[in-house]
């Protein structure tokens, strides 16, 4: 989707005039009701209060007109809707368990990229069949009880849909404090609605890389491509690899 983001000088000027007029009116007289005040302000610009309120911030991001929209097929829109239903439940998740079987290297690497990209705290173990068991702390975990973390977990779910064979179990606690269990696998019928992982890099990651290059000129810092197996069937997915320019 594309929006018209060009600045509207007319609206910028109108806002300045409206703010100046409101200040002037408040210093000159008292109004019996808020409606009378709105009516007086809007009348100064030959508009109704409703029209002025609608026009005043039309150039700001939440009100920018849509200029282009890539159409969605009914089937793809349905998959996106069903994905959103699951994401809404994951906002109330205390713990998520994910089993990946018959994992293709490229799809698995993308899944791990999503874990790292969304900054989720996960325990990853390799199964005897070559698959992986992933446990992710949910936003209702006492330590991570934040809205942002819940959104990150919800946004991670679409990456699961790209796996060939998977099973997801999530502990859900709704506002009534009752505990529910959400169970899905590759047979649930929900299909991915996007094709490629975004190459966007969070600002804090870019800032760290830039600062490191400035502070440590004898080292080269590169984005990490592979995970590192640790003792006890644990795995580390670093953001960077560091190479000393003198010794390699």
Query: For position 230, what pLDDT does the model report?
Result: 74
Query: For position 218, what pLDDT does the model report?
Result: 93
- Annotated domain spans of the chain: 2-68, 74-185, 203-244
| Cα-based torsion angle of the residue sequence 37, 39, 40, 42 in order, rounded to the nearest 10 degrees | 120
Phi, psi of 45 (to 5 degrees): -120, 20
Question: With respect to CATH, is domain 74-185 assigned 3.90.1150.10?
Answer: no
Q: What is the mean pLDDT of each run of 10 residues along the chain (248 residues)?
A: 75 91 89 91 93 85 79 86 94 91 74 85 82 82 67 91 92 82 94 65 82 92 72 68 87
Query: For position 66, what pLDDT does the model report?
Result: 80
CB atoms under 10 Å from CB of 131, counted, come to: 19
Contacts of 49 (CB under 8 A, 6+ apart): 35, 38, 39, 41, 42
Query: For position 143, what pLDDT does the model report?
Result: 53
């Amino acid at each position: 989707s594309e929006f018209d983001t060009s600045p509207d000088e007319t609206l910028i000027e109108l806002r300045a005039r409206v703010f100046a007029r409101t200040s002037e009116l408040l210093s000159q007289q008292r109004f019996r009701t808020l409606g009378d005040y709105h009516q007086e302000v809007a009348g100064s610009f030959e508009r109704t209060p409703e029209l002025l309120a609608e026009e005043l911030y039309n150039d700001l991001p939440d009100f920018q007109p849509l200029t282009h929209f890539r159409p969605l097929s009914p089937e793809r829109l349905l998959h996106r809707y069903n994905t959103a239903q699951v994401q809404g439940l994951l906002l109330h998740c205390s713990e998520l368990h994910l089993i990946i079987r018959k994992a293709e290297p490229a799809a698995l690497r993308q899944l791990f990229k999503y874990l790292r990209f969304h900054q989720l705290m996960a325990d990853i173990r390799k199964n005897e069949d070559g698959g992986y068991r992933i446990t992710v702390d949910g936003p209702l975990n006492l330590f991570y009880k934040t809205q942002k973390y819940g959104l990150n977990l919800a946004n991670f779910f679409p990456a699961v849909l790209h796996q060939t064979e998977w099973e997801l179990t999530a502990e859900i606690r709704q506002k009534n404090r009752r505990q529910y269990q959400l169970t899905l696998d590759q047979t649930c019928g929900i299909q991915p609605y996007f094709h490629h992982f975004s190459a966007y890099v969070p600002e804090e990651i870019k800032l760290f890389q830039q600062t490191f290059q400035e502070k440590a000129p004898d080292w080269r810092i590169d984005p990490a491509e592979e995970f590192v197996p640790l003792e006890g069937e644990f795995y580390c997915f670093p953001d960077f690899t560091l190479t000393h320019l003198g010794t390699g």
